[in-house]
Amino acid sequence: MADSLALAQQPVTQPALTTEMLVVFGVVAFALVLFVTERLPIDVTAILLIVVLVVLEPWTGIDSSTGISGFANDATITVLAMLILSGGIARTGLVQELGRRMAAYAGDSVRKQLFATVLATSPVSGFLNNTPVVALLVPVVTDVANRGNTSPSKLLIPLSYASQVGGMLTLIGTSTNILASDISARLGADYPELHRFSMFEFTQLGAIVVIVGALYLIFIGHYLLPERVPARADYVEEYDVGDYIVEVAVVPGSPYVDETVGTATDELGPEIDVVQVVHDEDRSVAPRQETRLSEGDVLVVRTNRDAITMLEDAPGVELVGNPQSDAELSTDDEAGIITELVISLDSRLVGERLDPEAFRQEFNAAVLGLRHHGALISERIVGKRLDVGDTLLVQAPPDTLDQLSRRNDVIVAREPPQPEYRADKAPIAVAIMIGVVAVAALDLYPILLSALAGVVAMVVSGVLDPNELYDAVEWDIIFLLAGVIPLGIALEESGAAAYLAFLVVSTAGFLPTLVVLWVFYIVTGLVTELISNNASVILLIPVAAAAASGIGANPLAFVFAVMFAASTSFLGPIGYQTNLFVYGPGGYRFSDYFRVGAPLQLLLSVVTVLGIAFFWGV
């Protein structure tokens, strides 16, 4: 094992700090600010980066062709194809069925439930993109918790973490691996040790990471997780909305008799949202604005305290009730199911202000409550700006939940009553996926070509409809890759990466090489928490390779350290999209991720670095 103490005696020339480097550092700082503050959506930030890099071409060296090269990059197209293939598997219901079968034996044992969650998640995440895997399994795992009288908080963070470690089993497990492979191939001209990764090049280390992570989550992690959401929680109580839902009756002689719900809402005020109309014991959930009212109808209204006070004196209506539980709002599932909807990554709702009426018109669901950035918004939810991971408490008819479960805007946090899966296509979908992996693993054709062929096969065989191709893609990830790839090129071409590497070498020259490798792992993990896994890989792999070369170490070892660290983000909900998906349904606070994730991150940092040294040397 090489030691940098000996290597420190070798002369290392400090690169001159040029104007080009300073400009590129400025663009990187600008990008980091935008990523951290989230002032713009990720995809918009990515496009802006392309514009900035091309405008500053005299210093960045990025012309218009290079600026848009990220859209045609092998990694970008491969990730796009793999997302579509994952979407095809999802349409068959195979992942959900696997989750249900693994959970069938778990019963009320938390340890067995965790084992089922990890076993159903990690291996699958090695071959399907882990983001849709978690989206598909959130309702399955939530139902497992409810059936076993376990708090969902005990299982949902482990679900996310298990998917992340599972993604390290193969090249296609996560977009980060594919991107790291592409960067490694590009840097191969300068560092002979670097190359494009094969399908199972790091599977041996990935398997160790999965096993260690699973043992931690099953035997240690759940003790560190508080029960934020009670087992079989009553949603109305959990979201603390009982004081903001009232029942008002249309009294005899009311001006609202024979008028519409829309008219009544306009008259009663903008803060009034009619979530149900009860007519002769029949409940109409999420009623349309044109629904006609009759004498004696009861309107179930979601509003705020001031509006409730106003309703007490409003002509034509009379307060007759104040539901305090799910049972009072939903007498049976046919009347309307109360559940949570998680705002997904590429949802059109991200950045929009909550308009319950517009939401009802588009989604046929009534909004009852909101959890924003992990915090309950109990009273005034109208006009709140929505973000990825926010959770809406809604009530909707069963067929509506079936439809919502197939949309990309939201993740339904419970299994739909009558899901419409193409189960008969499951064998075909699995065969296509095996073919894609086999062709790439045997080096018959590159993964890019085999993945695109798999997409065509999915459509030709009927696993996916042509119009479903676009819905399966997480376009913000594609735009992010396209935007930050030229930034990585500018970092390399300007010499900025080499300059940063020199700073690392000069400050860490007294440390053993293995410790420097561990430092890169930790730094990558921290940077990923602030920006994103893909952005951190693009920014840090060139620096890591140059630093390794500067101390006479193996650049491939440093590239693997950055890749593994970027794909395992455990310290907060922001660094990795799967962490956001479980944020609301688990009722988590930011500190919960750190509490269970920090020990896991430290544990895996040691395991991964030692594993890299053992398998590839440093």
Q: What is the pLDDT of residues 484-540, one digit of tens each?
A: 899 989 988 888 888 888 888 777 667 899 999 999 999 999 888 878 888 889 989
Average pLDDT over residues 136-142: 86
CB–CB of 239/245 below 8 Å? no
**DSSP at 220:** I
Alpha-carbon 403 to chain mean position: 21
Report, as an integer, the average pLDDT of 15-20.
85
Listed ranges 208-212, 234-238, 365-369; the one with the highest mean pLDDT = 208-212
What is the predicted pLDDT for the residue at 11? 43
Residue 14 burial by CB count (10 A; 0-12/13-18/19+): exposed, middle or buried?
A: exposed
Is the pLDDT reported for residue 198 higher than 90? yes
Domain 337-396 has CATH 1.10.3470: no
Other CB atoms within 10 Å distance of the CB of residue 428: 18
Q: What is the dihedral of CA 285, 288, 294, 300, to 10 degrees?
A: 40
Portions of the chain given CATH number 3.30.70.1450: 252-315
CATH entry 3.30.70.1450 includes domain 252-315: yes
Q: How far apart, in whole angstroms, are the C-alpha atoms of residue 584 and residue 371?
A: 6
Task: Say what the pTM is.
Answer: 0.86
Q: Dihedral sign, CA of 43, 46, 48, 51? A: negative
Q: Please tell me the distance from the alpha carbon of residue 452 to that of residue 361, in angstroms, as a whole number.
A: 37
Cα dihedral sign for 145, 151, 156, 157? negative
pLDDT at 502: 84
| Residue that wins the pLDDT comparison between 306 and 11 | 306
CB 500 within 8 A of CB 489: no
